Structure 1
Amino acid sequence: MRNVVHRPGHAVAGGESGWPTPCIQKAHERSQGYGLLTGARPDYDILPTSELALKVEQNRILCAHAMPVMETLRDQIVNTESMVVLTDAQGLILHSIGDDDFLARAEKVALRPGAQWSEERQGTNAIGTALAERSATVVHGDQHFLEANRFLTCSSVPILDPYGDVIGVLDVTGDYRSYHQHTMALAKMSVQMIENHLFSSTFRDTLQVGFHSRPEFLGTLMEGIAAFTGDGRFLSANRSAQFQLGLPLAALRAHTLSSLFGMTSAELVDRLRASREPILSLNLYNGAAVCASVTFRRALLTTSGWPAEGRRETPGQAPASATPSVRTTLRTLRLDQLDTGDPQVSTVIAKVRKVIGKDIPLLITGETGTGKELLAQAIHNESPRRSGPFVAVNCASIPETLIESELFGYEEGAFTGARRKGAVGKIVQAHGGTLFLDEIGDMPYPLQVRLLRVLQERIVNPLGSTKTIPVDIAIVCATHRDLREMIAQNRFREDLYYRLNGLVVKLPPLRERKDLAVVIGKMLEREVLRGGAGQHLSVAPEVMRLFEHCTWPGNFRQLGNLLRTAAAMVDDDGEIRREHLPDDFFDDLQKIDEQPAAVLAPVETPTQQGTRLQDVEAQAIAATLALHGGNVSAAARALGVSRATLYRKMPAIAPTKSDSED
């Protein structure tokens, strides 16, 4: 980068070395490609007042929802020599507010309404680069391509409309010497608020499902919101919903209410009628349990004969059906309960016993679903901190826009649209107990610096606050990633790694464990407790052979979901047989074994030694269809697969009218 000159005294957000990040380097290369020179005079052309007024009118919906949020954000950064800027999708500044003295300085470089701040015009800058990259961007000091702009530090976040298209940018710009680590987090929260307002306004007359795994986050920025037509056709979902569902908007458009939440709109309304709880308990298509509230309007439903008025309930306590026995089991879980006969696990448990209570951080590695959180909970339960809280944070399950507020909290009154009295962060919640950071390898790089500071100084600064809160916590982390490799790729901080890995232990994947039968027995006992019935559950010998042959790519999470489905389908004798297993399980077996017949054959039926996997699948599907009276949708739900998969496996079946309307 021969045109980029780093001057001493200007901190650069790209890292401690002072050099730009790969994103900034690409932006400088684009700037050179536009023919710009670092010492050139910036483009100071300003739209005439009449043309600017037309642009504002064309973006009136964006401005209407953004300007109140900008006022709130301005209150959080007042007296910091900075300003809040709103642009359209091309980088044209539509509106700006901020400290008067800094606004005057900003006007000297045309950082005001009517100015164009795309990369083509201004070179590398947060607004233009955020639009080019379609991602939140910080450009600090010398990272700006044009020398005239290098007194600035800018944090920009693209704003998406409810259909996933970029419609503008929210930017916070200030003097580079007054840059604050909270700025980008506040900007991201503000954008999420704007997007949620746009979403609710756009889909006002639809069926909306608000959901989250924890009921206290319903009605806040953490809440996922999905909109559907009255007959259950998918319309859109906000960023948090896309994140929780694990699918982008493009993929979600192929879904329905039924395929995402396991019930039709009519069934959902029936649940609302029958529910005595303020919050419904629903299951996502991937098996994850969520708490949900539902909104619908009279105009949407009266033609269907449903209730005349909808409701969005106030978040409260978890539903009564939320398996308190499972939560109680976690709170009392002990290490010896996890020691079920596997030598590798026994070795891990022996190691952690020696460091419990000695203020040595623990790093648990292993594939996803191997039980890392269970081990962390058991460690806490046997530590001197057992009477304190155990607070788990999955760094991979929280959108990047919100993870900072989740960890550090935010000040009372900072974001009235998020939570009226502010929020206490997870780190402070863990005071006196244990903080479990699951999937630490997925923590955004900028946040790793703040986490390291917390671990070293044991103090927390909530977003939007100048106060510090002392914390006393034990740290247990987990990851399925290779952190050393991430360090080599500059994706994980080496200093944080050595601060976290006092003792590193690795949990084996399920396919390597020697105690599968014991584990399955314990999981079936929990299913009996979960169902509240006295029925005994067991596994047929031939099914156990299938389980032993499977590689379990999803480990305990996959096994648990499979057993839960099978337990719901068993006959009165409680024995899990082939016909009770979901279709995807046989797909996994087929992938790992080119000649599965010998494994699949039941030991007590010699005449079936040549049974093909496809025949086993067909038998399971036929049995399930018969059980549900030929209803393909019901059979697909029972098997845990989509109707499309069922049709593919049984091509002779043609969808009926009633089934296609399901």
Structure 2
Amino acid sequence: MSQTVTSCSMDGANLASSGVLPPSSEMLMIDKSHERSLSFGLSETMKPDYDLLGQPELRRQIEQSRVLCNHAVPVIEALYEQIVNTQSMVVLTDARGLILKSLGDDDFLGRAEKVALRPGANWSERYQGTNAIGAAIAELGPVTVHGDQHFLRANHFLTCSSVPILDPHGRLAGVLDVTGDHRSYHRHTMALVRMSAQMIENHLFANAFPDALLLHFHGRPEFLGTLMEGIAAFSRDGRFLSANRSAQFQLGLSAAGLAAHTFSSLFGMTPSAVFDHYRTAQPGLLSLCLNNGVRVYGKAEFSHSGLSVPASVVREPAASPAATPSREDGTNAAAMRARLSCLRYLDTGDPQIAAVVEKLRKVIGKDISIMITGETGTGKELLARAIHNDSARAQGPFVALNCASIPETLIESELFGYEDGAFSGARKKGSAGMVLQANGGTLFLDEIGDMPYSLQARLLRVLQERVVTPLGSTRSIPVNVAIICATNRNLREMIAASAFREDLYYRLNGLVVKLPPLRERTDLEIVIGKILHDDLATEGNLSVDPAVMALFRRYRWPGNFRQLSNVLRTAAAMVDEDGVIRSEHVPEEFFDAPADTPCAAPCAVPPPIPLTSPTSPECGTRLEDVAVSAIAAALRQHQGNVSAAARALGVSRNTIYRKMPLLSPQAKSDE
């Protein structure tokens, strides 16, 4: 797919933009279209093909596209109301470019009919040369063709803005177009056409899977029921069927990539759990966790089972255990957005996090680069997404690249893109690259310290000049991206070792915020509550036994949130009917951590069990006897609780079980 398609085919990310391509991309697309027109044997001065289908054949073609027309006509009428009295018309074609429907100002329709811009005419490039409808079909992306950019001189009085309409399976279904006098063209026309085309696509999608589980979702509940929502279809047993463009964008995968997934792998919840959710009296919205760690809200429909959630019903999600101030007026949209602010959600009471959030709020939207530092697993990408979602770019794409996870030989092409044939193994028609994919939104460069030195100069040029040049290309494409970087390395030391460019460091080093490790945070209980009830989407009210919570507080958490989430996920799966997470539900490996690891945060740590006690043997006794004596003392102190004794001694439970045969009968009876 050409760059035109890549920069224009994102879902609702840039719907408010003008829709006009960067000059270099637009001219390249026009040049390619003119080359195709010449290859069809057309000449600029020739009389266009004005042959129209007869009414019987036109009715047959409209009937073949009946589903498209039924969903498109109401949208066409609404779109025309937005452009009425502007010397314009709205046109709907099928996938071949045959005009099926049109609606416009009477005075302009008369002029349009002179060039056969009416139902029954074919406006593919083969018949009409370069025009927006034909180019949109050829490029599979939104296209504007203005005035003399049309191949045929007879069409130079027109300006056309066209957007392809894809069916629920990603195939071309037709084209929506607004055409008008080139002298009255408005730069916002393309945005209106794009929104209308997406509305048609969503209508087609919602009605294409009557026997499927349909999930409508978005990271912000106020966008459910709008063009921005993602819609994904699944079979009754949770197999993936299809997803609209917004859903693919939010999930970070193409339809082909999603085909290997299930409902559970994508959203962390089983279909049966969804059905149970809607059997409650007031189900509200679903709180789901995507496989990339982002929380979204959703509502489901399953017409085959009799379960159907009206699309108009959108409720504010219930407050989580760590929710910020109590709701005031649910009808106040501004207050709702403030309560659901992603940064506010992350601010759970720890003073260090509160300070980070306060700094970020002051610079968001001010074109200041942000660098996030901290140990691995402290939530750097989650914070970057929160910054993006609270910024003016929230409706644009969020593209994350882990510089340490991609081989050095591939990172350049992944970041900057490449043209067709740029290197062996390159995809046909090339690739846009992540910088261009993030156009209009945010590019998150994780582990920036691992970016190869040779590429750092190219990245610096992109940041300074706001243009990107794909591999194998001589054209520079303008981009508008916000940059957020993250690293757990000391970049100053890398600069001293000539491993990181100093000029790039100062370009990225606008505001530096450091995320504290989990062991230094004072909001552990609140964080655990959020993970259990929001991120893991567990059902029921799970709680943590006080003894286990005390263990969590004094544990060092070398893996930070990544480790904590895994521990809680396993514990939540093993918990008994009472919903209390106890030591026996915590993974065995957790207790194998060394006991002499200090706790950096202030916490109440019970005194360790000494290796000598009133019943301990005297100096010179075998080490085995000392160990058995210490285990016996620990078991007595903890009333036979093996897990607690193991934690106090800094050994695994298996160690105590192996020593059990050596304990005295009294110790065994205590246990």
TM-score of the aligned structures, taking structure 2 as reference length = 0.58
Partner of 1:337: 352
Q: How many angstroms does 1:25 deviate by? A: 2.1
Structure 1 residues 486, 574: CA separation in 2 closer, same or farther (over 3 Å shift)? Answer: farther
Query: What are the superposed Cα offsets for residues 409-439 of structure 1, whole Å, 9 maximum, x if unpaired?
Result: xxxxxxxxxxxxxxxxxxxxxxxxxxxxxx9
SS of the residue corresponding to residue 113 of structure 1 reads coil
Stretch moving more, 320-329 or 59-68:
320-329
1:159-198 alignment to 2 at 5 Å? 159-198=165-204
Partner of 1:100: 106
Partner of 1:216: 222
Structure 1 residues 176, 338: CA separation in 2 closer, same or farther (over 3 Å shift)? Answer: same
Q: Please tell me whether the aligned partners of residues 342 and 387 of structure 2 are also in contact (alpha carbons under 8 angstroms).
A: no
Structure 1 residues 15, 373: CA separation in 2 closer, same or farther (over 3 Å shift)? Answer: closer
Structure 1 residues 539, 112: CA separation in 2 closer, same or farther (over 3 Å shift)? Answer: farther
Partner of 2:36: 30
Partner of 1:126: 132
SS of the residue corresponding to residue 369 of structure 1 reads helix
- Distance in 1, matches of 2:226 and 2:21, equals 32
Partner of 1:138: 144
1:14-413 alignment to 2 at 5 Å? 20-274=26-280, 276-297=282-303, 300-301=304-305, 308-312=306-310, 314-321=313-320, 323-325=322-324, 330-331=343-344, 337=352, 361-364=367-370, 369=381, 371-372=383-384, 393=394, 395-397=396-398
- Distance in 2, matches of 1:198 and 1:230, equals 20
Question: In the comparison of the two structures, how many residue pairs are matched?
Answer: 449
- Distance in 2, matches of 1:485 and 1:335, equals 39
Q: Please tell me whether the aligned partners of residues 178 and 189 of structure 2 are also in contact (alpha carbons under 8 angstroms).
A: yes
Q: Please tell me whether the aligned partners of residues 161 and 167 of structure 1 are also in contact (alpha carbons under 8 angstroms).
A: yes
- Distance in 1, matches of 2:92 and 2:562, equals 46
Correspondence 1:487 to 2:467? yes
Q: How many angstroms does 1:156 deviate by? A: 0.7
Q: Please tell me whether the aligned partners of residues 215 and 299 of structure 2 are also in contact (alpha carbons under 8 angstroms).
A: yes
Partner of 2:412: none
Structure 1 residues 327, 278: CA separation in 2 closer, same or farther (over 3 Å shift)? Answer: closer
- Distance in 2, matches of 1:244 and 1:65, equals 25
Partner of 1:608: none
Q: Percent identity?
A: 44
Structure 1 residues 338, 34: CA separation in 2 closer, same or farther (over 3 Å shift)? Answer: same
Name the amino acid aligned to 1:257. Answer: F
- Distance in 1, matches of 2:320 and 2:366, equals 38
SS of the residue corresponding to residue 381 of structure 2 reads coil
Q: How many angstroms does 1:251 deviate by? A: 2.5
Q: Please tell me whether the aligned partners of residues 280 and 319 of structure 1 are also in contact (alpha carbons under 8 angstroms).
A: no
- Distance in 2, matches of 1:333 and 1:14, equals 43
* CA RMSD in angstroms, aligned pairs only: 4.2
Partner of 1:509: 487
- Distance in 2, matches of 1:68 and 1:358, equals 39
Name the amino acid aligned to 1:492. Answer: P
Name the amino acid aligned to 2:172. Answer: V
SS of the residue corresponding to residue 236 of structure 1 reads strand
- Distance in 2, matches of 1:323 and 1:147, equals 65
Structure 1 residues 130, 338: CA separation in 2 closer, same or farther (over 3 Å shift)? Answer: same
Partner of 1:565: 566
SS of the residue corresponding to residue 173 of structure 1 reads strand
Q: How many angstroms does 1:441 deviate by? A: 6.9
- Distance in 1, matches of 2:178 and 2:22, equals 20
Name the amino acid aligned to 1:337. Answer: Q
- Distance in 2, matches of 1:255 and 1:443, equals 24
Q: How many angstroms does 1:259 deviate by? A: 2.3
- Distance in 1, matches of 2:289 and 2:176, equals 35
Q: Please tell me whether the aligned partners of residues 124 and 146 of structure 1 are also in contact (alpha carbons under 8 angstroms).
A: yes
Query: What are the superposed Cα offsets for residues 589-624 of structure 1, whole Å, 9 maximum, x if unpaired?
Result: xxxxxxxxxxxxxxxxxxxxxxxxxxxxxxxxxxxx
- Distance in 1, matches of 2:195 and 2:102, equals 18
Name the amino acid aligned to 1:528. Answer: I
Gap regions ≥5 residues in structure 1: 1-11, 302-307, 378-388, 399-438, 449-476, 548-558, 582-662
Query: What are the superposed Cα offsets for residues 550-578 of structure 1, whole Å, 9 maximum, x if unpaired?
Result: xxxxxxxxx64553233433674699978
Partner of 1:528: 528
Structure with bigger RCO (C-alpha 8 Å, 6+ apart): 2
SS of the residue corresponding to residue 101 of structure 2 reads strand
Q: Please tell me whether the aligned partners of residues 281 and 319 of structure 1 are also in contact (alpha carbons under 8 angstroms).
A: no
Query: What are the superposed Cα offsets for residues 381-409 of structure 1, whole Å, 9 maximum, x if unpaired?
Result: xxxxxxxx9766252159xxxxxxxxxxx
Q: How many angstroms does 1:24 deviate by? A: 2.0
Structure 1 residues 322, 310: CA separation in 2 closer, same or farther (over 3 Å shift)? Answer: farther
SS of the residue corresponding to residue 279 of structure 2 reads helix
- Distance in 2, matches of 1:323 and 1:224, equals 27
- Distance in 1, matches of 2:255 and 2:182, equals 37
SS of the residue corresponding to residue 210 of structure 1 reads strand
Structure 1 residues 394, 240: CA separation in 2 closer, same or farther (over 3 Å shift)? Answer: closer
Structure 1 residues 328, 578: CA separation in 2 closer, same or farther (over 3 Å shift)? Answer: farther
Name the amino acid aligned to 2:175. Answer: V
Structure 1 residues 560, 46: CA separation in 2 closer, same or farther (over 3 Å shift)? Answer: farther
- Distance in 1, matches of 2:235 and 2:388, equals 43
Partner of 2:627: none
Structure 1 residues 525, 484: CA separation in 2 closer, same or farther (over 3 Å shift)? Answer: farther
SS of the residue corresponding to residue 231 of structure 1 reads coil
- Distance in 1, matches of 2:170 and 2:351, equals 49
- Distance in 2, matches of 1:279 and 1:57, equals 39
Gap regions ≥5 residues in structure 2: 1-18, 325-338, 374-379, 400-433, 446-458, 470-475, 494-513, 533-542, 572-580, 592-671
Structure 1 residues 335, 565: CA separation in 2 closer, same or farther (over 3 Å shift)? Answer: closer
Q: How many angstroms does 1:527 deviate by? A: 2.3
- Distance in 2, matches of 1:192 and 1:359, equals 28
- State the structure with more CA Rg: 2
Partner of 2:402: none
Q: Please tell me whether the aligned partners of residues 158 and 168 of structure 1 are also in contact (alpha carbons under 8 angstroms).
A: yes
Name the amino acid aligned to 2:381. Answer: G
Partner of 1:643: none
Q: How many angstroms does 1:292 deviate by? A: 1.2
Name the amino acid aligned to 1:165. Answer: R
SS of the residue corresponding to residue 393 of structure 1 reads coil
Name the amino acid aligned to 1:527. Answer: V
Structure 1 residues 217, 119: CA separation in 2 closer, same or farther (over 3 Å shift)? Answer: same
1:591-606 alignment to 2 at 5 Å? none
SS of the residue corresponding to residue 292 of structure 1 reads strand
Q: Please tell me whether the aligned partners of residues 70 and 84 of structure 1 are also in contact (alpha carbons under 8 angstroms).
A: yes
Structure 1 residues 124, 272: CA separation in 2 closer, same or farther (over 3 Å shift)? Answer: same
SS of the residue corresponding to residue 42 of structure 2 reads coil
Structure 1 residues 143, 563: CA separation in 2 closer, same or farther (over 3 Å shift)? Answer: farther
Name the amino acid aligned to 1:318. Answer: P
TM-score of the aligned structures, taking structure 1 as reference length = 0.59
